[in-house]
Structure 1
């Protein structure tokens, strides 16, 4: 009966080796689930199992089920071999006949050698569309985008990883991103299983777009570990091209505005709707999306067939209301946030570390001699090194060096003085303007910078007019009307600053244009505001208003709304400011300060009437002074441990950048004078190494001693070098979570031991090894007033631990040591035990998560019998057992000054805890012994309920 039941469900044939009967018994199953008949006909024809007449008979059938029935009739009439081949095609093209996978598996079908020798071609519309997508993405992602359109740099040869971190909702680090494939896996960094979107954020130029391009390239080449049949990539800025009344179906957005299937688009779209998990979407640059269309009143679109405004489709794709389960990657500049309910994981890009920069140098310049010359020049210019931490700026600097190297027969020299971002953009502009000059094998182009800019004034003004028009409207894509109105000539388009938008048909049939990068648009906007005679002082200062948005709320006081999700009902995301990130305005302000600086007047006086230039400089400085005063006055202040602490905001970092661009000591002195506090807190401001140049430019005018907290930024070793001018006044330095290595620690040692005023050094969660630990030990030896040292989450082993322990032993001032999350082991623990014995000042010590086991634990316990200063001792997440617990119990009978002992997540059982509890009978000093996560069961813990100082759960 059971076997008969299986036959009725079509799971097994009556005679296992009869392929004809297998098809006959499962006829209705096959008719129901075979949707692609053309692929079957193609393969039967190719292998001469069907004649052209057979194919015509099938094609003449009016409906798809009728075609399947006719194919089955013809195949069965031709015998076992043809029937076996039909089953073989169904098996080999599993994606084309996905519904038949379980059935084929149940039948146990195994083709003969004869049938396996036959060629099966995949003409399935879905598979053919996948192949077309791979070809298109492979072509589009092959080359790195360049300024000069004639240049071609292979992505595969030039791509260099950057620092990429998985972060939490509050941007707290969850560890490094292992690989590009890690973006899409479900094992690490997932913040919400219900979230649909992987969010990649980072500063302008840090490499978000290139990372997506690399992902696209790997998928196209079949090297992406995650399996996706479809890959759709969109840039958010092009959605700004759609007008308010435009509507599209989802199918049209994907096919007509991205890549059209050559065969049966309806069948491809039906497959996508049925299996959305087979699709991956990337949306680049949410912060560059701007539209006058009011989404707040638009209805949600949950139907993939109903027309809707493209922004509504975008919002519902990201939220999962359309194609729920598809992979979705979204990028935006730092500071933009998306609703938590849509967030699956979050990745923060931080740019190049020193090692990444060296790798990138080798890729850009294969010649060893050229590499060494360039790296030597960078080492001699810390400000250039700092700018090179941003991949875009690094690429621009390297391309300029490459140009000079080719023009000057290998004697290329980068600027050897202090370099600002304005200098870099003026340099690249000069290089590309000079490329329009005729070249000669016997005569070099000897035009001066002044002559180059004077000759290119019309070009720069036309490009600036286009850039300014877009900046005023928050637009990064320009139609032909705007380009023509600015009188941009065809030859000027070929310079590479403006380029044709790849998505030509989005929002219209005519060709649109965009600047190579938003920072370049900001530069040309600033240049236009400076050189155009019609620009008055009020218009000149327009974008400085973004420092203090209407209504008096600070730009950093809250998160502005997330534009695409204003259409989601009940999300509470509506607000006044639909454009969350204002970096493009701030870059414009920065370039204005640089162009109107004293150093640039020699260049600009040939482009702008002297009177107009003086008027604009005067207006800018007056406004900058007033803005700076008002901002510093309104920064929140608080009294913390004897310090008057000011909590700076990201806007303050932008102000520092602008001050640095002026290279005006007068402005820097004013800013330093306005910091009416002795503790400057700049945590989570997304400051990079180049910002340390700006910070030092101001702080070296600060004449009093100062505490500086730069935790949780992206400074790296270049940033430490740039802080050198202000070390003479720093008593507190917090640089935790900043990618600092031993090289940066060496700079700290060399500078801090000159002044010997340091009291607090924070280097938690960096990349410091035993080499750096030796430098820190020497800081502790020579800075006699150092009281706090935070070194957790580094790479310090027993050797570094022993050096540090010896320095601690000799210190008469140290109050707190944090070593959590290193690898000092028992040897390091034994050395710290010697330091603890009779120490005069150490009060707080953390040796948590350091691989300490029995020997080290017993040494520490025995040493504490001779210590009267330690109050808090953390030994969490080690390998301490009952033997160590016994030694600690003996210690507690003697030591009456220890207050808090944390033994969480070790290997102590109820036996060890009982010994600790017994010791408490003779100890009145200890307040708590935390034993959560040890080897004790809840019922065993009940024995210790009366001893409140024992905490087991």
Structure 2
């Protein structure tokens, strides 16, 4: 859009006046206040990013200009404190005045909401503009108001405005000469009734006040992301090595906080770091230490002396206290005397900024730091520290952090040189509260509160304090999944102070990226158990995990349901080849045949100590599983337990497994093949290997594997073999049937049969089978201690054979599962007699039967009378609530 011809000559003169006005520096640059916007613009250091990520960002100017070029020329600029919003607006005015950008506008007017807040009475739009832009001739303003499409209004600091701009609370005006309150004029401008067609940009911190501007285009000011921080540090320090060192240190210590994106904060850090590096001292490690350095850098420049320094800080503390308790950002200038600041008029600029008639701290951080100092410095002003702290914590985010750091002698000592000794009683009161509060919090189960404790300990930088507060009972209670980057820093500090962690519980950590994983790597290497189940990890995060495993002493790692995938597993396996890991859970990690070669390579490493591999619910297939089995032959493989449930295996890969378990070098003791498809042929191959003299297999689970009674003769022969060591066998949910089960009974009754635990749940067993099982249990030669025969509908008559067997002294059963076998109250007399007679029975599973209230008195009584019995499960029977209290009286009954 071109500028109206009639206005061009006048506009040129106006631009010169505007440029001269805005480049006339007001105030001064300060350590905590940052460089003035004009200085930033003049030095070409204005590089704040907007609307994007570290890899996809644009400058604030570009984003605003793009938004203004659209049909809706209303832009809301949203960003945190110190992110560069004010500089962005002033830069827009400078660009316009220099003729570089925004030339479609005949004039640009910039207003500060803090100044508008102080205006009383009524104004017309032209008088309001003249009041704030006296450098612009009145004749120009009158002409401009007739051409609204050529005017751009910039409003800075909406979140600081005290009055409502909601159109529903004003009678909006449309005439520029009409007088109204300032809030009504601004509301009329923003909502288009006044100067309709004009463009505007409103800058604000995130606030609910944006709701009534919902139709505007929002541009988010991101401040300094990593690329911009790097550019800024390189520009600040003349030596590239120093710039690199300073940036790396900031990123490691405070770069993970949100405020590190603030250009103002980066100015502060660079200023302090330069001073520290020039003196040859160590750079600060925490936020508290950084702000101690800020004051150590700042106070000597005021040349006040110790007594005056103390008096100034205490006066600032009174103002900080009022701002905190009132949840406000500043105080009226006339209140300076009440705080004791009037005598320090020439010094307060280093701490405070002035907007009209309101004074406020340059940042909330310096406000809270000054408050923390005063709470520990002067007891007379703050009786009852704990009460005062509770009052202030509601309006402060980092007060606890600063108090924690300042309570430590080494951290506050540089300030005591400048301010005098802190009050010892106040410090001891805080430390007493601090320790008891943290200990109590860590006994609870609120993750966020645990994180807060870790942050406070991190600020304290006291290893012995960490060991005193973080007891063993507080180390494994809850999951710390979903950590922010700053949380990982604090948690890592705590774990490394402790020296070791039994369980680092990171369950359900979503999107664990490389940076937090790198921070957590030392903590991982110090943890005996790492739980990352149901988490999602980037490739970079997996790389740091692998490195931590190879360096540390982790013995268990749970990555179940982490959707790891083949490529990330390859990265993980680099750490598995040389680590102390004994147990690895890869359940449901979307692994395929491609992963098996990497796992096989890791298992074959001479340095691998892996004993248990849980890799079930993955699509390994026969080819993949066969590759894995070949690693079990090697002399280096130490695997004792292999869980491959539901991995799409068939009989085709059982030869490879059979060869592995028969190997003289294989230590394999336990294999779980649940819910595969090995069938009768697979069972035949496997049980043939059990006869081999070198086979060490002690536990085999073929639950739900499409097996029938045809396989049972092979099972019988294997179990009767002199070399068979199988003590646990689960054939549940297979078509074993009566004939197959009777074959098994022949082996079970043979003297020397090693089976102690047998699973035959839902195997189509009949009453004759139960009769034979009862006979075998009574034989005195059967070593069965655990028998599961639930979900076989044999009723009271079938299960009676097992009750009768328990009456016999030769029966060694300790656990009996007869869930859903069709039992009724009629069996209770036999059941109770069996329990009383057995000297070995410890638990009975009776779920999902048809027992009623009538059975309960006898069952409760027998459990109370039988010291051997530990548990009876009666869930899902036909009980009414009338007997719940009776069953609850016996803590050994589950109902």
TM-score for both structures, normalised by structure 2: 0.54
The structural deviation recorded for 1:329 is: 4.5
Pairing partner for 1:177 from 57, 66, 73: 57
Q: Is the 8 A contact 1:596 1:662 kept in 2?
A: yes
1:359 aligned counterpart, secondary structure = helix
With over 3 angstroms needed to count, the CA separation of the structure-2 counterparts of 1:732 and 1:266, relative to structure 1, is same
Distance in 2, Cα, partners of 1:790 & 1:314: 58
With over 3 angstroms needed to count, the CA separation of the structure-2 counterparts of 1:777 and 1:148, relative to structure 1, is same
Residue 432 in structure 1 maps to residue 312 in structure 2: no
Residue 382 in structure 1 maps to residue 252 in structure 2: yes
Q: Which runs of 5+ in 2 are unaligned?
A: 603-612, 628-646, 651-675, 678-895
With over 3 angstroms needed to count, the CA separation of the structure-2 counterparts of 1:156 and 1:622, relative to structure 1, is same
Instruction: Answer with 1 or 2: which has the greater Rg.
Output: 2
Q: Is the 8 A contact 2:95 2:102 kept in 1?
A: no
Distance in 2, Cα, partners of 1:805 & 1:156: 61
Aligned to 1:534: 380
Structure 1 residues 391-540: aligned runs within 5 Å: 391=262, 392-404=264-276, 408=279, 412-415=280-283, 419-436=285-302, 456-488=309-341, 493-494=346-347, 496-498=349-351, 501=354, 504=356, 513-538=359-384
Aligned to 1:275: 149
With over 3 angstroms needed to count, the CA separation of the structure-2 counterparts of 1:460 and 1:326, relative to structure 1, is same
Residue 201 in structure 1 maps to residue 12 in structure 2: no
Number of equivalenced pairs = 605
With over 3 angstroms needed to count, the CA separation of the structure-2 counterparts of 1:186 and 1:366, relative to structure 1, is closer
Structure 1 residues 786-935: aligned runs within 5 Å: 786=586, 838-839=623-624, 868=648
Q: Is the 8 A contact 2:404 2:459 kept in 1?
A: yes
Distance in 2, Cα, partners of 1:668 & 1:319: 59
2:234 aligned counterpart, secondary structure = helix
Distance in 2, Cα, partners of 1:656 & 1:208: 33
Pairing partner for 1:717 from 515, 533, 543: 515
- What are the Cα deviations for residues 590-630 of structure 1, in whole angstroms up to 9, with x where unaligned? 32333234544545777899895324542575278548957
Pairing partner for 2:585 from 763, 767, 785: 785
Aligned to 1:950: none
Pairing partner for 1:257 from 132, 139, 150: 132
Residue 706 in structure 1 maps to residue 578 in structure 2: no
Structure 1 residues 753-764: aligned runs within 5 Å: 753=550, 754=552, 755=554, 757-760=556-559
Aligned to 2:9: 123
- What are the Cα deviations for residues 772-796 of structure 1, in whole angstroms up to 9, with x where unaligned? 99856736888853457799xxxxx
Pairing partner for 2:211 from 314, 339, 343: 339
Aligned to 1:663: 461
Aligned to 2:840: none
Aligned to 1:358: 230
Pairing partner for 1:695 from 488, 491, 495: 491
Distance in 2, Cα, partners of 1:761 & 1:680: 17
With over 3 angstroms needed to count, the CA separation of the structure-2 counterparts of 1:752 and 1:157, relative to structure 1, is farther
Structure 1 residues 67-86: aligned runs within 5 Å: none
The structural deviation recorded for 1:520 is: 1.8
Aligned to 1:159: 45
With over 3 angstroms needed to count, the CA separation of the structure-2 counterparts of 1:363 and 1:601, relative to structure 1, is closer
Distance in 2, Cα, partners of 1:400 & 1:345: 38
Aligned to 1:823: none
Distance in 1, Cα, partners of 2:589 & 2:68: 31
TM-score for both structures, normalised by structure 1: 0.51
Structure 1 residues 215-234: aligned runs within 5 Å: 217-224=94-101, 227-234=104-111
Residue 732 in structure 1 maps to residue 532 in structure 2: yes
Distance in 2, Cα, partners of 1:628 & 1:316: 56
Residue 613 in structure 1 maps to residue 521 in structure 2: no
Q: Point out which structure has higher relative CO (alpha carbons under 8 A, 6+ apart).
A: 1
Q: Is the 8 A contact 1:142 1:217 kept in 2?
A: no
1:704 aligned counterpart, secondary structure = strand
1:301 aligned counterpart, secondary structure = coil
Q: Is the 8 A contact 1:478 1:514 kept in 2?
A: yes
Residue 750 in structure 1 maps to residue 547 in structure 2: yes
With over 3 angstroms needed to count, the CA separation of the structure-2 counterparts of 1:807 and 1:695, relative to structure 1, is same
Q: Which runs of 5+ in 1 are unaligned?
A: 1-92, 99-120, 167-172, 438-450, 549-581, 636-645, 792-800, 818-832, 843-866, 871-895, 898-953
The structural deviation recorded for 1:430 is: 1.1
